Structure 1
Amino acid sequence: MGENDERARRRLSRSSPKWAIVAVLAFAGLCSSFMFTLVVPLQAELPHLLNASREDTTWVVTITLLVAAVATPISGRLGDMYGKRRVIIVLLALLIVGSTIAALSGSIVGVIIGRALQGAVTGVVPLGIAVMRDALPPERLGTAVALMSATMGVGGAIGMPVAAILAENADWHWLFWLAAALGVIGLLLVVVTVPEDVLRSSGRLDVIGAIGLAIGLTGILLFVSRGAEWGWTAPLTLTCVIGGIVVLLVWGWYQLRTKDPLLDLRVAARPAVLFTNIAAIGMGFALFASNVTFPQLLEMPVGSGSGFGLDMVGASLIIMPAGLVMMVISPLSGWLERTVGPRPLFTVGAVAIVLAYVFVLLWSSEVWHIFVANLLIGVGIGFTFAAMPMIIMRSVPANETGASNGLNALFRSVGTSSASAVMGGVLAAMSVTVDGVAVPTRAAFDVCFWLAIVAGAVAVVLSLFIPRQRSAEQHPSLPS
């Protein structure tokens, strides 16, 4: 970091109360993660509410995942170039516009457009982490990053019961009005509290690179998220995956040769960044595996032999504490990151997730078994999600933190999308009919838990290959 950038960073760190910056950015992160569980209570009723086929209404969920995955690394690069605060404001504005469109719409087209715009707001989390790196001293950075990372799980965990209660007691449009209101509050708080950032990278926006990345990722994610429904060997499915891979290969070749690439792949290929990003797929998979399996296990009828017969609100209240645990342990995550470093913290978190799924594989006959396992997953995700941004930021230049953390978020999105598709396919394929309704068997859940164990174990192994790094106070890529 140059002398001028260092002086600019010091001015930035003095411009606003640090606790206020962290709190506002965390609130924005909560708003973004809430978008993923916003329509969960409505999924079964969407065909009736929108007068559309079930296949068409699945796009209400899929489109948000696709846009989030594509927009996150692009918004990170835009933040590095034009200002992270400015891009965060734009993303929150898109959330407001998208929520309003969906709230005013009675057709599936309007809701899908609104949900697509809502997906773009996911980029505020890696951008918020990059702002914290610019504005906070090293001794506070780890805890703040842990809190910001925790919002990715907390928002969804808290939002699920809120959305369920609202869906049961009010018109479904109010879910989107609530999202719009949260966006307005978040935008105003960011405008008032978060200062203009001054650490920016030079160059121009790589429009060709952005388009190529969007096309390639869309092909891959369509294969992952819709392959089970379309058929894994169907022509459309194979076209998506093969086309996506080819486009990404050409995109990578172009990125290595263009002057101002969207993502510096040479930085992304550094061992610490590379292993962390690949491990992030496993962590995203393990997180979303619980989001798919645990609610179904809790809500399935008791007569199925595996379920507990809870309603949506009751199941959500069992799942919610895991998100709260992620937030509560963020100070501990920050202290551990400063004390032992982010790599051991990542390893411990991944081990905790593996143990959680082993526990539920052995004991899942009582509601409290699911509750305990989910709490342990909350601890594991809290540690790993806190460690990953710190590993990334210790390994990349300061002016590339937005894009690099956005890329890490992208890999997590690939993991969550994969979990959604794989778990959904397993549960659908291994089902029996109870009272005229197809429900997953106990063996289906066991297979899902084994898959999550494997994903977590791979992340543990990869974490051991991440090079050891110096402390945050000494590393040249972090402010001192």
Structure 2
Amino acid sequence: MTGIPPSSAVHPSTVRASALGITAGLIGWFIVVEIVSGILQGFYVPLFSDIVIELGIRDADVNWFEAGQLLLSALVVPILAKLGDMFGHKRILLLAAILTALASWGLVFADSFWTFLLFWSLQGFYVVWLPLEVALIFERGRKQNRGVSLTRRAAGLLVVGLEAGAIVGALAAGRIYAATGDLGLTLMVPAIAVSLVSVVIWLFVPESTPSGERRLDTWGVVLLAWGLLLVTGALAWMRLIGELALGAGTWAGVAALFVLGIGVLVWFVFHELRHRHPVVDMRVLARPDMWPVQATAFLIGISLLGAQGPLSTYAGTDSSLGYGLGLDATERSYVIGLYLVSLIVGAVLFAVTSRRISPRLALISAAVLVGLGYALFLPFHLELWQVLLNLSIAGIGCGALVGALPAAAAAAAPFGKTGEASGLTNTTKTIGGAFSSAVFGVVLAAGAGTVAAQTASSLGGYLTVWAICAAGGFLAAILLMLVPKVAFADTPPAG
């Protein structure tokens, strides 16, 4: 009689413990990756004034840096996420990290506006890190029949790392520059950090199981790229027009560009429905547990990405006008810092409570907090404590959703499409931020000059911004109520 002797048999609990240890280690490395991602997002902002002087440009030109990175991120995230499903998420994550590192080193040596704009835009490859990490964690946990619950908790921890890195980056940048007095030397810090994290990904992150699909819908990629390029380009142009108060003829050009972009995206949808290997599977996107998640990502992008500029300018508006807080740059940084801390609190709360309450209920509650926080701005905005309280409430909701949405999308996606689904939440969130940023820029510019201080926006403009953000949060909560009650829960693997 042959076979494995009893003494050599592996106990099931040992297998589970080993798998859990591997996954916990994986999450730990991803937290390191997200800390570096946060450093990238927080490090450069305090240095913008010095970058402007170094490059010999105007303050207004900084807006083009944001627009360039926004365009690139909207284009590359769905494509790279799809490639992750096809060829392995680690492979594409490592590629994105290397490209980000090269762009970060390019910024160190950039000596003109155009070279800096090029490398700054290319640095936007980091936006695909989080969706690919979520896909890797989900695929790892799926083998243990706990992919959904594990991914929810892990996503909250990743957001904690992201926001902690942003705070560290923002605090460290000014101090490093003050100590060295050399902008190029200071910009080496994030470049070194991304280079090191590329090595971490290469050595310590295991590969996922590719879907086996090896055909990429090239024409779909082209249509998606052009559609997003036209729409986000129109939105960036729209924001610039609002700031510069250009003529009506320019508005007609923006409208034509936007309509053309929408038309290309509609063409893209019909093309994907007919293709056997679509870039974005529209049938999966139309599922009742998927489309409300993607719509929520768009709506939350309005407040998360679009409202930060108006909040900063409101905090700096002279309170003698009857509104505004009259804070200087240092005091405004404290306000933004508190908001980032509230995002961390929201992410932690989501990670802690995700196993105790329904995932669907957690998403709805977080969206309600976003709506409530911004709705409170409408009657309460004249005192610093009121603004801080409102921001904290909205920030807790946003912090929970930043981690929850990619995890929810991955849970709703079939095997082989987790990267695509989680990446799409980032794309829709980015487009929501671009749309709101453009609209808010126009709304606030329309009110400028109607008050005593010619550069200040009117109170009505700020109230409109807050009302839109509040409506976005409440609408997201309503849409999430349409999700089936059993959605986003762990289910036994097929077969």
Q: In which range does the TM-score fall when normalised by the shorter chain?
A: 0.7 to 0.9
Cα distance in 2 for partners of 1:436, 1:367 equals 21
Instruction: Return closer, same or farther for 1:150/1:70 CA change in 2, 3 Å cut-off.
Output: farther
Cα distance in 2 for partners of 1:222, 1:103 equals 27
SS of corresponding position for 2:390: helix
Aligned with residue 231 of structure 2, among 215, 220, 225: 220
**How far has the Cα of 1:254 moved from its partner?**
1.8
Cα distance in 2 for partners of 1:256, 1:153 equals 38
Instruction: Return closer, same or farther for 1:372/1:419 CA change in 2, 3 Å cut-off.
Output: same
Cα distance in 2 for partners of 1:369, 1:327 equals 20
Cα distance in 2 for partners of 1:13, 1:135 equals 12
Residue identity in the other structure for 2:198: L
Q: Counterpart of 1:403?
A: 420
Q: Counterpart of 1:126?
A: 131
Instruction: Return closer, same or farther for 1:354/1:311 CA change in 2, 3 Å cut-off.
Output: same
Aligned with residue 116 of structure 1, among 121, 136, 148: 121
Residue identity in the other structure for 1:133: F
**How far has the Cα of 1:188 moved from its partner?**
1.9
Cα distance in 2 for partners of 1:442, 1:149 equals 33
Deviates more, 1:44-53 or 1:255-264: 44-53
Cα distance in 2 for partners of 1:434, 1:173 equals 41
Percentage identity across aligned positions? Answer: 23
Q: Counterpart of 1:203?
A: 214
Alpha-carbon contact 2:96-2:129 (below 8 Å) kept = yes
**How far has the Cα of 1:168 moved from its partner?**
6.7
Aligned with residue 151 of structure 2, among 118, 132, 141: 141
Residue identity in the other structure for 2:422: N
Residue identity in the other structure for 2:317: M
Deviates more, 1:380-389 or 1:231-240: 231-240
Aligned with residue 67 of structure 1, among 57, 72, 82: 72
Deviates more, 1:67-76 or 1:390-399: 390-399
Q: Counterpart of 1:101?
A: 106
Deviates more, 1:235-244 or 1:79-88: 235-244
Alpha-carbon contact 2:373-2:394 (below 8 Å) kept = yes
Residue identity in the other structure for 2:102: V
SS of corresponding position for 2:356: helix
**How far has the Cα of 1:268 moved from its partner?**
1.0
Residue identity in the other structure for 1:147: L
Cα distance in 1 for partners of 2:263, 2:178 equals 45
SS of corresponding position for 1:365: coil
Residue identity in the other structure for 1:356: G
Cα distance in 2 for partners of 1:166, 1:432 equals 39
Residue identity in the other structure for 1:429: A
| Cα-Cα RMSD | 2.9
Alignment gaps of 5+ in structure 1: 1-9
Deviates more, 1:428-437 or 1:308-317: 428-437
Residue identity in the other structure for 1:135: R
Q: Counterpart of 2:365?
A: 348
Instruction: Return closer, same or farther for 1:328/1:53 CA change in 2, 3 Å cut-off.
Output: closer
Cα distance in 1 for partners of 2:477, 2:339 equals 21
Give runs of aligned pairs for residues 52-451 of structure 1, distance below 5 A.
52=57, 56-136=61-141, 137=144, 138=146, 139-149=149-159, 155-156=165-166, 159-163=169-173, 170-174=181-185, 176-230=187-241, 234-432=251-449, 438-451=455-468
Alpha-carbon contact 2:272-2:279 (below 8 Å) kept = yes
Residue identity in the other structure for 1:299: G
Residue by residue over 1:239-274, the C-alpha shift from the partner in whole angstroms, topping out at 9 and shown as x without a partner, is 321221121122222212222221111111112211
Cα distance in 2 for partners of 1:20, 1:303 equals 54
Alpha-carbon contact 2:366-2:397 (below 8 Å) kept = yes
Deviates more, 1:382-391 or 1:107-116: 382-391
Q: Counterpart of 2:11?
A: none
Cα distance in 2 for partners of 1:11, 1:116 equals 43
Instruction: Return closer, same or farther for 1:240/1:332 CA change in 2, 3 Å cut-off.
Output: same
Alpha-carbon contact 1:12-1:195 (below 8 Å) kept = no
Cα distance in 2 for partners of 1:80, 1:161 equals 37
TM-score scaled by structure 2?
0.86
Alpha-carbon contact 1:33-1:122 (below 8 Å) kept = no
Cα distance in 2 for partners of 1:278, 1:98 equals 31
Give runs of aligned pairs for residues 28-47 of structure 1, distance below 5 A.
28-41=33-46
Residue identity in the other structure for 1:261: P
Q: Counterpart of 1:6?
A: none
TM-score scaled by structure 1?
0.88
Cα distance in 1 for partners of 2:187, 2:16 equals 39
Residue identity in the other structure for 1:95: T
Q: Counterpart of 2:5?
A: none
Instruction: Return closer, same or farther for 1:25/1:325 CA change in 2, 3 Å cut-off.
Output: same
Cα distance in 2 for partners of 1:289, 1:121 equals 19
Q: Counterpart of 1:460?
A: 477
Cα distance in 2 for partners of 1:432, 1:340 equals 50
Cα distance in 2 for partners of 1:132, 1:116 equals 28
Deviates more, 1:279-288 or 1:365-374: 365-374
**How far has the Cα of 1:62 moved from its partner?**
0.5
Alpha-carbon contact 2:40-2:166 (below 8 Å) kept = yes
Alpha-carbon contact 2:360-2:487 (below 8 Å) kept = no
Cα distance in 1 for partners of 2:220, 2:169 equals 35
Alpha-carbon contact 1:34-1:159 (below 8 Å) kept = yes
Give runs of aligned pairs for residues 17-36 of structure 1, distance below 5 A.
17-36=22-41
Residue identity in the other structure for 1:178: V
Residue by residue over 1:255-303, the C-alpha shift from the partner in whole angstroms, topping out at 9 and shown as x without a partner, is 1222222111111111221111112111111212441222222233444
Alpha-carbon contact 2:41-2:166 (below 8 Å) kept = yes
**How far has the Cα of 1:330 moved from its partner?**
3.5
Alpha-carbon contact 2:306-2:434 (below 8 Å) kept = no
Q: Counterpart of 2:490?
A: 473
Cα distance in 1 for partners of 2:32, 2:308 equals 22
Pick the structure with greater CA Rg: 2
Cα distance in 2 for partners of 1:88, 1:452 equals 32
Deviates more, 1:83-92 or 1:290-299: 290-299
Cα distance in 2 for partners of 1:158, 1:226 equals 33
Alpha-carbon contact 2:134-2:407 (below 8 Å) kept = no
Cα distance in 2 for partners of 1:57, 1:458 equals 33
Deviates more, 1:69-78 or 1:318-327: 318-327
**How far has the Cα of 1:111 moved from its partner?**
0.6
